[in-house]
Amino acid sequence: MLTRKQHELLIFIDRHLRNTGFSPSFEEMKEALNLKSKSGIHRLITALEERGFLKRRAHRARALEVLRLPDSLATRGAQAAAQPAAAAAQPAAPAPAFAPNVIRGNFAQNLPGAVRTANDAAAVQLPLYGRIAAGLPIEALRDGGESVEVPAAMLGGGEHYALEVSGDSMVEAGILDGDTVIIRRGDVADNGAIVVALVDENEVTLKRLRRRGNSIALEAANPRYETRIFGPDRVKVQGRLVGLVRRYH
């Protein structure tokens, strides 16, 4: 039996993992549960670990894995998933050694550049502009002519592009050196969103955006890096993070 706060935190972590692919930060969990300190989050996570609902993955900063959900939620989820699967059941072809699940969406045919891969799953070629610093800011490259293929289901409306991450200042948000981030182009973002920010017209960096009165803070997700504070006229949002692609070698 879980307490109300344990249940709320478990559902929030599970939903965040499904929507973003990485764990929420302690700050995000604290705000979601309306707690006053992060120590309360530590206690809740420890309790969920002891009860077999959560697992912390070794050597990954703030990386959490949901092992199971409360029985009532797990049962409802299994029933909902079984209904459309049963309706569409048909003899299956032999599966390859690795067969990733692909989310399909009718909107894919309306996305510019949409193509069909060999397994008939909609994919989109996005321009890969270059490497963006997730540590010290560097200028993003915009003339490489390269592209990266991503599942169309990762994208919604609007224009998107990709950037390769360089550095480790966003590791506690699940963003690692060498990852490819998918950015929705735009000049506005919610407070707390991870954005591509242009600083003083010549530095580009990937950070969490915080508004503090008339100032803008670009916040790292690694305690080794300090938060940088700027006047509002020094920072321009160039897009916000909507997805991440990671290659394993």
Catalytic residues: 169, 207
Measure the N-to-C terminal CA separation of the chain; round to a whole number of Å.
41
Q: How far apart are CA 35 and CA 49, in angstroms?
A: 19
Residue corresponding to tokens 């989310």: 103
Beta-carbon contacts of 49 under 8 Å, excluding residues fewer than 6 positions away, are 55, 56
What length does the chain have? 249
Q: From residue 204, how far is each of 62, 95, 132, 185 by CA, in Å?
A: 25, 43, 7, 14
DSSP bridge partners of 194: 208
Task: Estimate the crossing angle of helix 38-50 against helix 4-20, to 10 degrees.
Answer: 90
Residue with tokens 């700050």: 27
- Candidates 232, 233, 210, 231; CA nearest to 221 is 210
d(Cα 190, Cα 194) in Å, to the nearest integer? 9
Q: Which two tokens stand for residue 143?
A: 């003339």
Q: Left (φ > 0), alpha (ψ -120 to 50) or beta: where does 120 sit?
A: left
